Amino acid sequence: GTAKKSGAAVVAKMKELPSVDDAFGPGSVRMDGRAALPAYLLEVKSPAESKGAWDYCKVVSTASADEATKPLNESGCYLVKA
């Protein structure tokens, strides 16, 4: 009962609020339920460039969430309202 009712409210709030992900950066949940996040082109660092454990990559370029995510009008999702 209550869980089903609150689930819809939670999803609505997720779509309303921006998100911040430690790995992927700022984003949002779109009308179709898909996460809209930036995309990164990474280059592996040489051993000399690496400054410690897990320091393997450097960001070469970044595509915005709008550039990296299929447009809503092309999604084909029934949740997308015109």
Task: Indicate if the pLDDT at residue 33 is higher than 80.
Answer: yes
Task: Indicate if the pLDDT at residue 2 is higher than 80.
Answer: no
Confidence (pTM): 0.69
For residue 37, being part of any structural domain is answered with yes
Burial status of residue 40 (CB atoms within 10 A of its CB: 0-12, 13-18, 19 or more): middle
Average pLDDT over residues 21-47: 91
Instruction: Label residue 3 by pLDDT band (50, 70, 90).
Output: low
For residue 30, being part of any structural domain is answered with yes
For residue 53, being part of any structural domain is answered with yes
Q: Cβ contacts of residue 41 below 8 Å, gap of 6+?
A: 59, 60, 61, 62, 63
For residue 48, being part of any structural domain is answered with yes
For residue 82, being part of any structural domain is answered with no
Which residue segment(s) compose the domain that 7 sits in?
2-74
Distance between CA atoms of residues 16 and 11, nearest Å: 9
Domains identified in the chain, total number: 1
Are residues 70 and 36 in contact, defined by beta-carbon separation less than 8 angstroms? no
Distance between CA atoms of residues 28 and 57, nearest Å: 25
Task: Indicate if the pLDDT at residue 4 is higher than 80.
Answer: no
For residue 42, being part of any structural domain is answered with yes
